[in-house]
Structure 1
Amino acid sequence: MGKKTAAISLALACAFACLWVPVEASASDKAQRTAPWNSETSDLEADKRIIYGVLPNGLRYAIRHNERPENQVLIRLAVEFGSAAEADNEQGLAHFIEHMAFNGTTNVPEGEMVRKLERLGLSFGADTNASTGYLRTQYKLDLPKSDPQLIDQALFLLRETASEVLFNPEAVERERGVVIAEMRDRENYNFQRARAVNQLFYPDSYFSTRYPIGTLDVLQNAPAERMRALYRRWYTPDRTRLIIVGPVDPVAMEKAILRHFASWRGEGRQLGDLDRCGFDTQRPSGAGVFSHPEVSEAISVEQILADRPRPDTFERALLDLRMQIAAGIIGDRIARKSRREDVPLLGSNIGFSAGFCDQHARVGFAIGSKDGGWRTALPIVEQMVRQAVDHGFGEQEIAEQIQRLDAAFANAVRSESTTTSGAFANVLTNLDDDIVTAADYRQRLWLQLRPFMGADSVSREFAHWFSKLERPQIFLSGRKIDGVTEADILSAFTASRNSAVTPPDLRVAKGWAYSDFGTAGVLVSDTRISDLDIRTLRFANGVRLNLKKTDFEKDRVRWSLRVDGGRMHFTRKDQPLAMFMQGAYVGGGLGAYDADDLRAALAGTTAAPILAVGADHFGGSSAVVRKDLERQLQLLAAMITDPGYRDDAVRLFRRPLAEFYSRLTATPSSALTQGQARVMNGDDLRFVLPPREQLEAADFAALRAVLGDVLATAPIEIGLVGDFDEAEAIAMVARTFGALPMRKAGAGINPAARATQYSGAFGVHILPHRGEANQMAWRRVWPTTDDSDQRLEQTMELLADIVRIRLLDELREKLGATYGAGASSDMSDIYTGRGTFSVGTNGDPKDIDAIEKAVEAVIAEITAAPVDADLFERGRKPSLESYADWRRQNSTWMQIVDQAQTEPERLERFRRNEERFRSITAQDVWEAAKRFLADKPSYIFRATPEAKAAAPAG
């Protein structure tokens, strides 16, 4: 142990000797390469592929070359400034400043920032975004390609954001409505609950007194000058980090960073650390209650303990891993009890963090329970935690968790070379006190620490921390807790603490039971689609297999299983059984394993039990590492040949139904979703949630009767995409699905099952919700058609992108009536003639007339004449740029490989996808808009508060 630590420390000392190495002269003699961020407090080995540096003005940067996706470059600007730094009369201004960064700078007029980004191929929201937290404000740009001019433009815009925001008073006034709309959208019962929790757990800290969204009074009244002063005070180079990840030349990037940011000069004063909070670790137990008609019942138990700083070190890794293992075991124990007994427990998790606010640790647990079930659920989890404290963990339980960690670390090493740039960018942007390490080093570190993960050491570590959970704060929330007092909660906790706990049942390892499915299948057809390099095969029993080998994701194989049937196998009156199957089939386990034993048997693999109910098939899709492909195929074959159909899965399916149905109109969005489906589809249970009693009546006996032999006999098609050996994969499928009995010849789905019809109930529909009185969800929907015409489908998607841009211009930027707006086209590839075009937004009910008039004006504009060249280009540029990488992604290929034999016409659509999109003109978009939107009947949905539900339409 000592030698290992010494070796790491020696390597670190060598790294420190290289601090402040000048960047090579070809880049600049003014920028300096530095040691990795936070390495001065760590004895771990940093990832050597990341270049760190600093400009003379103090701005720090990190650059990592990465080629997944092949062309995309991600740039992040992170400023160490958030709501924790705000004074009373500044609450919410850090977030307001973030908004103003898009509303006029020295060299970019108001309204042009977003347009410039769209012209560069970035979609607002998806590729262009920003966020404000307690301690950090960050701006993100996801560039579609690594073009030097594009990167230069992006850095120019971020430099404008960093120091050149103007805060024109008129622009500030225009943006107030947008910021207040965002506050309104967030201000629901869940946010109210979160505030109450923070006030109990973290009193007098920024967690409970400085929410990033701010206060309404400040947002309504703070002058532009106050924002400008705050911006000048905190947006300084020495508080800013710039991150660039993608297929870039680091030296060229350093030159570009220096060119754009070296001239930035902040006010030059030391502003201190924002992360300051202190808590009384001697507080007596306390409790809080939050009652609301729509909030889910939950209990949070937490105690803050005295601790010390915990930098990212060998010691902390040891602690974190032990506690992770302990939490995993307790979670498994609680899940088994919940599955096997009729208890009102809907979920739970164990919480632990050391080094919280540098001098504290947090221990506790959280519970979700059925309405009114907290008195039963609380002692279950409390006693499970105390059982672990008093009696520890068994060797088999530890072994299962270690298997999972072994696999996780090994898989990370195998896949790191194709890890996406987004993963690296997010880690670097959100880095606090940690150090970024490489996957192979993390595995080596794990192997060093693994011998210290025995049952005794993990048990002692857990007991050290959770034995101190004696004076917690306990927070209860729910809708059926009226009359419950804080004394009641504390009394229930004390009563549980006074109950003795017995040692747990010991786990017994089980071997794998599904390795033999009979004689391996024989191939009767083997061809290759040469231009797409897709290999298609068919076994003697009728099973189809499609292969596409790629190197886009190292050591990862994406798989797809399709068994003909799905919801179309069920009659319309039996659709509740399809929903039941979706929610309970996998939970029933297999013949040889219940769900808990199956999870244990799969420990250390990436194989997962999946069998979903699609519109026209049973099956699913996911990904595994290469070594686990055969286990995944064995598991899938077992799931269709030997399902467990255990009653505990029925009980788990039914348990949350009452709470789920009680909240269908709890928020504007949920009321709109359910109401729209009902209005447009009537009682067609393929598209409408059935009455609760129908789901509660569903069971495996009824399901088996309706399923019949479909899983045993229906045609099967399997798709594999990724990093695998073709001969090995074929042999694996031959030993599993190829060995199954003969499948029926595919007769195809009855065309009648594909027929649908929207109702004729066009016009305005008021959908009451039980949420906040100042919240509304609004949507307008036009029927269109299915996706049989690919070019029309693409045209409608482009129309949606253009309409979205115009709605944001009008509703957000000009009216300030909403935080966001959207438009979408959904054209079915399953149901004949079924499709919709929708526009929607959220807002205050008082603004409904203005919102509807603005939407009507946009639609009138779009249908009156072709859009101008600039708007057309801004709408289509992000899609055009996406083609740079689309064929270098496994997810793209799986869209056609999964049905390469049963739907060969989609191969031709794939071949012509880009060509057809590029051929679409503004005239085409206009013709489509006139065809489906101009003076055409539509549905308008207003999800408004119950008190206003009876308001007259129009």
Structure 2
Amino acid sequence: MQLKRFMFATVLLVASFFSVTAFAQQLEPLPVDPAVRMGTLPNGLTYIVRHNANPKNRANYYIAQKVGSILEEDSQRGLAHFLEHMAFNGTKNFPDKKLIGFLESIGCRFGADLNAYTSFDETVYTIMDAPTDRGKGIIDSCLLIMHDWSNSISLVDKEIDEERGVIHEEWRSRDNAGMRTLTALLPKILPNNKYAERMPIGTMEVVDNFKYKEIKDFYHKWYRPDLQGIIVVGDIDPDYIVAKIKEIFADVPAPKNAAERYFVQVEDNETPIVAMAKDKESTNTILKIMYKHDVLPMEMRGTIVGMMYNFIDQVTSHVINERFEELQRKPTAPFMQAGAADMDYMGIAKTKKALHFIAVPKEGELNPTVEVMATEIRRLKEHGITQSEFDRARTNILKAFETMFNERNNAKNASFCEEYKEFFLNGGYIPGIEVENEMAKALAQQITPAIINEYLKEIITDGKNLVITVEGPEKEGLKYPTEAELQKLYETSFAKSVEAKKEEVADTKLIDKDIKAGKIVKEKKNQKFGATELTLSNGVKVYLKKTDFKDDEIRMTASTHGGTRLYKSASDIKNAKILNSALGLGGLGKFDAIALDRALTGRRVNVSASVGAYTTGISGSSSVQDFETMLQLVYLRFTSIRKDDEAFQTFKNNTIEQLKMKERNPLASLGDSIMVLLYDNNPLFKNLTIEDMNTVSYDRALAMARERFASADGFQFFFVGNFDEAAIKPLIAKYIASLPKGKAVKKMDRTKEPNSRTGMKTMKVQKEMETPTGVVVDFLKAPATYNMKEELTSQILSGVLEQTLVASIREREGGTYSPATGTELADYPKPQVSTYVQFFCDPERAEQLNKIVYDELNAIVKNGVNKEYFDKTVLNIQKRHGEVVRENGYWLNNMKSFFFDGENWVDGYDATLSSITPKDVQNMLSRIMNSGNRLELYFRSAETAKKN
């Protein structure tokens, strides 16, 4: 209903700036990017293929299915998601676990490079960064995997039964307060609608008990080529890929008498729907005010009307979020966060959109939040947006298009795959960024605030299609209005006439004063990094490395010695914990935080400052055009840290609110328990409490921050990216060499840093939980040598342990969904290597599963490392390293490590990795296991919690 009048007006607008012939053409689908090969096989399968060499010698493979949990029968609830799991447990050409084994053998890591997801209306499987330079056999095999996922998943009875436990543990890990309140709300706001009863995880009654035939019936009914799209993007020959797709998928039959792929419609509501849901473990209240409206018809999404609609949506969201950001920065705001987005209704239903206004009220402030939100929504409907708001939004949107255009030759495979996936599943357009950039510039000249305001008047109704929901904690003493009272409060607030938003003219000149430039007093070349080293008149060292990895990116980092460990008093230890927040609260120079954001409209630049335990730093990035702006922000970070008492009071209030919320979530205290286990209540590692927040000093935190940035002497700056060295040197002299010079801080002694607890300790924590849950955390450590070989050995051990635990406590035992493990090398306070293991599970199985973990670790110590796991991990590390060396961030970090930290992580990397043997990994784990340092945490629901 609602969008029809607005869409008609939009079509007339399109017609107004095209000739009759051209107008007819504009309502035709936009052309497909000529770099894309797209087609449909006789059996109905769609393919989309593109050559792209970023990263080089890699390709991504997607199979997107227009199939999800919405298609399940009552007896199949959860089986769309279950089927996704089974796709990794055996197919026709890759029986048992050979599919995962093959992909890991070519360097693709399960979870990171090999994954899938199931939603209400879609299921998507992905293989990422598979090599293309090791023969066509790997390419063919990846396409064969896509083929098997399409039509040849084995669905072996034994594998189905083993997977039931894994799914159950995934449900356990996700059955939190947010999931429970959403599940409670859906039947109220989607009455008599299938979307309300088809959460993809399903019901555990079905998962635990369904007959094998149910999942096989679902698979054969819905997994079929007319609902599937194959997407391949990478360093491949498109002709070969297309030919191979036609060959491999030729035996997948077109469905006979296929069931209709129906789409569940969401009905309009003539009167408002208001619904509330509470949960004892909810940490905060969430208010949503939604205005449902029709989706853009599929046939129009791929035309210029669709592009115009998307542009209008972006402008609208930008302006609304800018308004709410300004409101939430005030100490008197009744909410901590607020914003808006136009998206699928509740993020679920593809057949109905809604303009969502979302706020997180402070405790006890729901009613004032409703009043403020309703007032601001009324302001949008009655007066719309201002010209200055529109101009800022339009400028930022066009800047984003410009950036994508400038980086068009460096776009990653993943970005194209995601774009084409959305196109296949939801319609739209893929003409290429060259076309989109030009059309965006043309549309920006035609769309006006008046058009946006007409759109808002159509969408924001006086009651029809209005839906209001509240999710919040069930807590003694916390009162809520009834649903009728909530509706009345909204309607009363919305009915009041309001003033229009005032026009604002932003000041865009960051620095008013004239800056006297310093000098570059020394320059030399560094052959190791292909960099230029500059010494400035104020003692600053600058390192410049020009790259061609990205056409429109320059990245920066800077460090000096001295950090929060310089401050010893109990009060300063607490003040140090808000220091980094204090640095960013007040804006810079003459600009508060809001004014600074607006001054930077249309500029792609960011600069942040931070103070660590032992060092102080600044980091940032910019487009080529905005490099000078980045340096201006650096200058202000040193010279003009701005105090804003109102901003700090907002920060303080919100932090206290968050701490209150944390107390209601039993799992939120897991991190605190881990820190107690590791550091035994050492104040350096304790999180701030509500009492602490009431005593910290903003003035003292700012004073500490200003001390750390009082002198640039001793700082080392690193710049990596696409710059003209001759052009940026004068800017470096102006903005960095002119920074104040004082006494440089010497490198601090890190050997006195408190170490984590040694010896053996087991800690048990019980919390009341709605869903019985156990969390096990193990932490082990041993002395080490801090060098590249130890670092790479620890990385290999991480990969070996991950595969070991997935195979044992997930696949064999069905005891957990996603075991986490890692091994890390640290250089202070003493060089040491540590391993951690963490997993969620049935609380009654915690000790049993952890015994299995230790049995597996001890088996490696006794019998050696699984050679297959070792080889797969090494190959994955090699593959990742080959990709990151083509990224600016890699060189930025390694230059800093070399020149500032004195650590060389570049020279001899490949040779060192190749020299490491399974015996080295076994020996490292043996040292860790035999060190006598073992900490265990069993965190679980109390006996009085609800039984499963």
Task: Please give the secondary structure, in 2, of the residue aligned with 1:410.
Answer: helix
8 Å contact from structure 1 (residues 527, 535) kept in 2: yes
- Asked if the contact 1:79/1:240 (under 8 Å) is kept, the reply is yes
CA apart distance, 1:416: 1.9
1:527 and 1:831 map into 2 onto residues whose CA distance is 35
- Contact 1:312/1:435 (CA < 8 Å) preserved in 2? yes
Measure how far apart 1:4 and its partner are: 5.5
Q: Which position in structure 1 is the counterpart of 2:702?
A: 704
User: 1:730: which partner in 2?
Assistant: 729
Q: Which of 143, 146, 149 matches 2:132?
A: 146
Displacement after TM superposition at 1:7 (Å): 9.2
Name the amino acid aligned to 1:424: F
Aligned partner of 1:387 in structure 2 is 379
**Distance in 1 of aligned mates of 2:880 and 2:296:** 48
Deviation at 1:835, TM superposition (A): 4.7
Alignment of 1:97-496 (within 5 A): 97-147=83-133, 148-305=136-293, 309=297, 311-353=301-343, 360-431=352-423, 432-468=426-462, 472-479=466-473, 480=475, 481-482=478-479, 484-496=481-493
Structure 2 partner of 1:862: 860
1:593 aligns with 2:606: no
- Which residue of 887, 890, 893 corresponds with 1:889? 887
* Structural mapping, 1:788-867, within 5 Å: 788-829=786-827, 831-833=829-831, 835-867=833-865
Deviation at 1:939, TM superposition (A): 0.8
Map residues 890-929 of structure 1 onto 2, 5 A cutoff. 890-903=888-901, 905-906=902-903, 908-929=904-925
Write the distance in 2 (CA, Å) between the matches of 1:768 and 1:547.
54
Give the structure 2 partner of residue 18 of structure 1: none
Q: For the Cα contact (< 8 Å) 1:818–1:843, is it kept in 2? A: yes
Q: CA deviation at 1:74?
A: 0.6
> After the TM superposition, which of the residue ranges 801-810 and 163-172 deviates more from structure 2?
163-172
Counterpart of 2:69 in structure 1 is 83
Deviations 1:327-370 (A, max 9, x none): 32232223223323422211111233599968744234111111
2:540 matched to 1:543?
yes
C-alpha distance in structure 2 between counterparts of 1:357 and 1:311, whole Å: 17
Cα deviation, 1:150-191, whole Å, max 9, x if unaligned, reads: 212222222222222222211111111111111121111111
Provide Cα deviations, 1:802-849, integer angstroms capped at 9, x if missing partner: 011010001111101111112101223564435521011111102113
**d(CA) in 1 for partners of 2:878 and 2:24?**
47
For structure 2, list consecutive stretches of 5 or more residues without a partner in the other structure. 1-13
Paired with 1:700 and 1:759, the residues of 2 have a C-alpha distance of: 32
Checking the alignment, whether the CA contact within 8 Å between 2:585 and 2:647 is kept in structure 1 is yes
CA distance in 2 between counterparts of 1:164 and 1:358 reads 28
Q: 1:918 to 1:463 in 2, by over 3 A?
A: same
Conserved in 1, the CA contact under 8 Å of 2:768 and 2:944? Answer: no
Change (3 A) 1:359 1:245: closer
Query: Larger deviation: 469-478 or 215-224?
Result: 469-478
Q: Deviations over 1:540-586 (max 9, x none)?
A: 11112111111111211112132433333433732322221222321
1:27: which partner in 2?
A: none
For 2:503, what is the secondary structure of its paired residue? coil
SS of the equivalent of 1:162 reads helix
Per the TM alignment, residue 11 of structure 1 is displaced from its structure 2 partner at its CA by 10
Rounded to whole Å, the distance in 1 between the matches of 2:128 and 2:575 is 43
Cα pair distance change 1:669/1:252, threshold 3 Å: farther
SS in 2 for 1:598: helix
Are the aligned partners of 2:603 and 2:626 in contact in 1 as well (CA < 8 Å)? yes
Contact 2:781 2:931 in 1 (8 A): no
| Alpha-carbon distance between aligned partners in 2 of 1:212 and 1:158, rounded to the nearest angstrom | 22
Counterparts of 2:861 and 2:662, CA distance in 1: 36
Q: Which whole-Å deviations, capped at 9, do the CAs of 1:417-464 have from their partners, x for residues lacking one?
A: 111111111121233121223222222112211123333332232223
Contact 1:557–1:724 (Cα < 8 Å) also in 2? yes
Q: Are 2:746 and 1:747 equivalent residues in the alignment?
A: yes
Letter of the 1:473 counterpart: V
Letter in 2 for 1:525: K
Deviation at 1:606, TM superposition (A): 1.3
Distance of aligned partners of 1:270 and 1:787 in 2 relative to their CA distance in 1, 3 Å threshold: farther
Q: Which moved more, 1:63-72 or 1:523-532?
A: 523-532
Q: 1:75 to 1:660 in 2, by over 3 A?
A: same
Shift of residue 231, structure 1, vs aligned partner: 1.0
Q: Is this contact kept in 1: 2:822–2:837, CA < 8 A?
A: yes
Give the direction of change, closer, same or farther, for the CA distance of 1:742–1:786 in structure 2 (3 Å limit).
farther
Partner of 1:884, secondary structure, is helix
- Aligned residue pairs total 920
Q: TM-score, normalised by structure 2?
A: 0.92
Rounded Cα–Cα distance in structure 1 between residues aligned with 2:662 and 2:826: 25
Separation (CA, whole Å) in 2 of partners of 1:517 and 1:577? 35
Q: 2:644 aligns with which of 623, 643, 646?
A: 646
- The answer for the alignment partner of 2:10 in structure 1 is none
For residues 55 and 553 of structure 2, what CA distance do their matches in structure 1 show?
Answer: 15
CA shift in 2, pair 1:51/1:642, >3 Å: same
The whole-number CA distance in structure 1 between the counterparts of 2:145 and 2:273 is 51
| 1:727 Cα deviation after fit | 1.7
Alpha-carbon separation, structure 2, partners of 1:868 and 1:590: 55
CA contact (8 A) 1:585 1:649 kept: no
Which deviations, in whole Å up to 9, do the C-alpha atoms of 1:273-308 show, x marking residues without a partner? 343313133134433242434331111111324566
Is the contact between residue 801 and residue 821 of structure 2 (CA under 8 Å) also seen in structure 1?
Answer: yes
Give the whole-Å Cα distance in 1 for the aligned partners of 2:47 and 2:439: 27
- CA RMSD in angstroms, aligned pairs only: 2.6
Distance 2:906 2:569 in 1: 33
Map of 1:757 onto structure 2: 755
Amino acid in the other structure paired with 1:439: I
How does 1:507-586 map onto structure 2 within 5 Å?
A: 507-514=504-511, 518-571=515-568, 573=570, 574-586=572-584
**Distance in 2 between the 1:496 and 1:11 partners?**
45
- The 1:615/1:829 distance shift into structure 2, 3 A limit, reads farther
- CA–CA separation in structure 1 for the residues paired with 2:264 and 2:652: 46
Unaligned runs of 5+ residues in structure 1 are 14-40
Q: Which position in structure 1 is the counterpart of 2:5?
A: none
The answer to whether the Cα contact below 8 Å between 1:516 and 1:735 also exists between their aligned partners in 2 is no
Distance in 2 between residues matched to 1:540 and 1:122, nearest whole Å: 49
Q: Distance in 1 between matches of 2:673 and 2:505?
A: 49
Return closer, same or farther for 1:813/1:286 CA change in 2, 3 Å cut-off: same
Residue 948 of structure 1, CA deviation: 6.8
The one-letter amino acid paired with 2:383 is H
Asked whether the equivalents of residues 790 and 825 of structure 2 are also in contact (C-alpha less than 8 Å), the reply is no
Correspondence for 1:936 among 925, 932, 939: 932
Using the TM superposition, give the Cα deviation of residue 862 of structure 1 relative to its aligned residue in structure 2, in angstroms: 1.2
Q: Is the 8 A contact 2:711 2:739 kept in 1?
A: no
- 323 and 127 in structure 1: CA distance in 2 versus 1, 3 angstrom threshold: closer
Letter in 2 for 1:280: D
Matched with 1:21 is: none
Q: Indicate conservation of the 8 Å contact 2:49/2:238, yes or no.
A: yes
| Counterparts in 2 of 1:738 and 1:313: CA distance versus 1, 3 Å | same
Letter in 2 for 1:418: N
1:348 counterpart letter in structure 2: A
